[in-house]
Amino acid sequence: MSFEVILQSLVDQVPQAVGAILVDWEGEAVMEHCHCDPYDIRFLAAHQGIILARLKEMQSAAQIGEVEDVVVTSSKGHLIIGCIDQDYSLVMNVERECPVALALYHFRLAIGSLKREI
């Protein structure tokens, strides 16, 4: 299964999904599928590296285990960020009305599929 198929399936299966993007360690887009201007999802993804870096610093200091994923909730939506490996991450943006548990379920399945592809 290709990256494109995995991302399209993720976005199609999650109600109110805005988009999903696979990014490298520098926050550069590898592949995206979205219902918005691709620039918008790329902009979000470029900044996810800052969030992950800070979380990894906290994880190291607190010795709580490896960060797998995180959900950032705002008044307009949810941003889900997950680690695929040391070099790649998945970022998904969903509208506020989207059930987070359902989004996380499909997000984690996509992470597993992406790990097998990479």
Average pLDDT, the chain: 89
* Predicted pLDDT at 1: 79
Q: To which residue do tokens 């969903």 refer?
A: 94
* Predicted pLDDT at 59: 67
Q: Which two tokens stand for residue 74?
A: 């705002």
State the Cα–Cα distance between residues 118 and 2, nearest whole angstrom: 10
Sign of CA dihedral 34, 39, 44, 50: positive
Percent of the chain with pLDDT over 90: 64
19, β-bridge pairs: 34, 93
| Cα–Cα nearest to 90, from 58, 118, 60 | 118
* Predicted pLDDT at 25: 83
Enumerate domains of the chain plus CATH numbers: 3-117 (3.30.450.30)
Region 70-94: mean pLDDT is 92
Region 36-60: mean pLDDT is 80
Whether pLDDT at 60 is above 80: no
CA end-to-end span of the chain: 11
Region 33-61: mean pLDDT is 81
* Predicted pLDDT at 62: 64
